[in-house]
Amino acid sequence: MKIQLSDHFDYKKLFRFTLPSIVMMIFTSIYGVVDGFFVSNFVGKTPFAAVNFIMPVLMILGGIGFMFGTGGGALIAKTLGEGKREKANGIFSLLVYSAAALGVLLAVLGIAFMREIAAFLGAEGQMLADCVLYGRIVLLALPFFILQFAFQSFFVTAEKPGLGLASTLASGITNIVLDALFMAVLGFGLAGAAAATALSQVVGGVFPLVYFSMPNKSILRLGKTSFDGKSLVATCINGSSELMSNISMSIVSMLYNVQLNSYAGEDGIAAYGVLMYVNLVFIAVFIGYSVGVAPVVGYHYGAGDKGELKNLRKKSLCIILVSSAVMFALALLLSRPLAGIFVGYDKALCDMTVHAFSIYSFSFLFAGVAIFGSSFFTALNNGLVSALISFLRTLVFQVLAVLIFPLIWELDGIWFSIVAAEVMALTVTAAFLRGMKNKYGY
């Protein structure tokens, strides 16, 4: 039975509708993890550190896609809820074309200044050369990377979350197969890892373009459009929280790398890289659910159905809290096996990573509420509150913690900082959810 945005959602229907988005985000994270696994085990520790060092820059640029997808998806869903389907398709087409054009521009600039960017961040010697090599190859596919991220939300808005999952699976399988071929079989080294990633992003961007450009059974289709500055600005403002989240996380990752390089050297950066790979997979559950439920919230907000908004808020928070407890338990139980997969060849590094896990795991108890809260306000087209939650969670709280805590607890202070930041973010999110409930009627 087809699930529509206009339906009433019980727990079963929520799980069915959001599951493709959750799996999609998990799989997106997993194939990034596989990339790191092959680089670490088949190329070496220094290239692995270089990939983790330059990856935040690439994610900042790719985060443009999240901005268009989440901000635009919420606007499109609200417009559909108001019964304006033709206008919704015009906005959809405009956003896709704009995202692609911006991707081309950013790719050209990024490739041209990659060496200067890596050097500014502190890379030098062989790590600098590796950062430039990996970054420039991956940036060749940046327009498709941005579109891939944007379409993850647009597929859900189009009531086709299963196709979004299929697109991500196709991209992920391409990356995994090519990683194995280019590095394990052909020995292309770091360049092979970058090429595998770039080609997988092309697959992830082209598949949705072809689907939405042809006659299809979804409620959205690419076609002619006209410039709509108001919708474009509204999308960017509303999606700024997700963009801010990506930019902030990337900036914080750079700061973590600087701090870790000071307190633990290259091993510290490598250990943090392992934590980030695992974090991506675990946090993907929260992000995937939030992406999946956001168009539903946006539709009912546009339709003025306050009863369903209240239902979605209550059920979603219950799902997030239960998932948080499961994530915490899994992180503790799997810390050594996961560390061994990436850095088992170096006992000291592996032990450092396991110890970091024992502290970092507590962050999963608190992260889900803030992630959902930010996405919830995006779906309500309140970009200001959404951006504020993301800004505080991913930048302000983490920067303060990672600068102050190491002065007290040294290396352990770096691992503790993310936990403290998530606790503060949960507190702020709870305050906003409570304070805005009368305004939106949820």
**pLDDT tens digits along 136-165:** 999 999 999 999 989 988 998 898 888 888
Q: Residue 27: which pLDDT band, with cuts at 50, 70 and 90?
A: confident
How many structural domains comprise the chain? Answer: 1
Domain membership of residue 5 (yes or no) is: no
User: Could you tell me the two tokens for 10?
Assistant: 């019980």
Residue 191 has pLDDT above 70, yes or no: yes
For residue 113, the model assigns a pLDDT of 94
pLDDT tens digits, residue range 227-264? 888 899 988 888 877 777 777 777 787 788 788 878 88
288/328 Cα distance (integer angstroms): 17
Domain membership of residue 171 (yes or no) is: yes
Choose between 35 and 87: higher pLDDT.
Answer: 87
Domain membership of residue 4 (yes or no) is: no
331/327 Cα distance (integer angstroms): 6
Domain membership of residue 1 (yes or no) is: no
Helical spans, DSSP H, in 39-113:
45-66, 72-81, 85-112
121/261 Cα distance (integer angstroms): 12
Q: CB atoms < 10 A from the CB of 136, how many?
A: 19
Please list, in sequence order, all residues whose beta carbon lies within 8 angstroms of the beta carbon of residue 147, skipping any fewer than 6 positions away.
Answer: 65, 96, 99, 100, 103, 204, 205, 208, 209
CA distances from 328 to 19, 159, 359, 360, 367 (A): 20, 32, 11, 9, 11
Residue 139 near residue 107, CB atoms below 8 Å: yes
Whole domain around residue 171: which residue ranges?
11-440
209/211 Cα distance (integer angstroms): 6
Name the 3-class secondary structure at 275: helix
Q: Is the dihedral of CA 246, 44, 119, 113 positive or negative?
A: negative
pLDDT tens digits, residue range 74-108? 899 889 988 898 999 999 999 999 999 999 999 99
Domain membership of residue 361 (yes or no) is: yes
Mean pLDDT to the nearest integer, 385-404: 90
Q: What is the pTM of this model?
A: 0.75
Residue 187 near residue 197, CB atoms below 8 Å: no
Domain membership of residue 70 (yes or no) is: yes
Amino acid found at 192? G
Domain membership of residue 229 (yes or no) is: yes
Domain membership of residue 212 (yes or no) is: yes
Q: Residue 1: which pLDDT band, with cuts at 50, 70 and 90?
A: low
